[in-house]
Amino acid sequence: MTIPHGDLLYEGKAKRIYAGAEDKQVLVEFKNDATAFNAQKKAQLDDKGRLNCRISACLFEVLEREGIPTHYCGIAAETWMVVQRVEVIPVEVVLRNIATGSLCRETPIAQGTPLEPALLDLYFKDDSLGDPLLTDARLALLGVVSSEMRERIELLARNVNAVLIPFFREIGLQLVDFKLELGINAAGELLVADEISPDTCRLWDLSCLDAEERILDKDRFRKDLGGVIEAYGEVCKRVQGACPTPRNCS
């Protein structure tokens, strides 16, 4: 289903962004495209767009209820979300509660090590450079965010983690790690932007001890484990329990 929209403003790997009816809003269409390893691996996964749209909407509403500002306005259709227009900060914030993924490939830290407090890393958002890890010195050299903005970004990201860890635990999921993108709206507010979904979070089923079976996120696609959509569907079913009818914004 396509809904009325303005010009295509941007097409990313998993979403298209269109001009909205109001200047302050844009429309996000969630695609079925799955990509990994900086789009070297690609597939079409039926229903992924709808599931990620619904999961993200619910999680944005959970954050909103806890007073965390996000770009989310509401759902316009199954794969369409209305969000505030923001200036995207070219930094990806990754929070890790348990060591896995690139942290274990790049350091001697053992898989599964609990990280308390969560490890927070900033990456430069640039696909052509492979989203490189930013050191303090590189961040200062690039001048992409001021030190004051960096403090606000880190506080916001840690607050998101503090809300999402217990939320997921309640529905039997462990929030292993996740990536956030942030933006600044017309009023100068810092907001959580982009999406929060099994594409951007690692989620393990707490009731399952098997190291592969418990994976309910994009690692199923990255590692060719199969059952990707079934896993996303399971996350959606559980998350929806907390937010059965996301706000309609059509």
CA 239, CA 183: separation in Å to the nearest integer?
24
**By CB under 6 A, is residue 47 in contact with ligand 5GP?**
no
- How would you classify the pairing of strands 87-98 and 173-184? antiparallel
179 binds ligand 5GP (CB under 6 A): yes
Q: Which one, 55 or 201, has the nearer CB to ligand 5GP? A: 201
Nearer to ligand 5GP, 132 or 241 (CB): 132
Query: 29 vs 177, which CB is nearer to ligand 5GP?
Result: 177
For position 218 contacting ligand 5GP by CB under 6 A, the verdict is yes
Nearest to 50 by CA among 28, 21, 74, 30: 30
**DSSP character at residue 127:** G
What is residue 36's three-state secondary structure? strand
Q: 244 φ, ψ to 5°?
A: -65, -35
By the rule CB under 6 A, 234 interacts with ligand 5GP? no
Among 27, 28, 76, 94, binds ligand 5GP (CB under 6 A): 94
Using the minimum distance from each CB to ligand 5GP, give the nearer residue, 179 or 238: 179
CB 217 within 8 A of CB 118: no
Contacts with ligand 5GP by CB under 6 A lie at 92, 94, 101-103, 131, 177-179, 199-202, 218
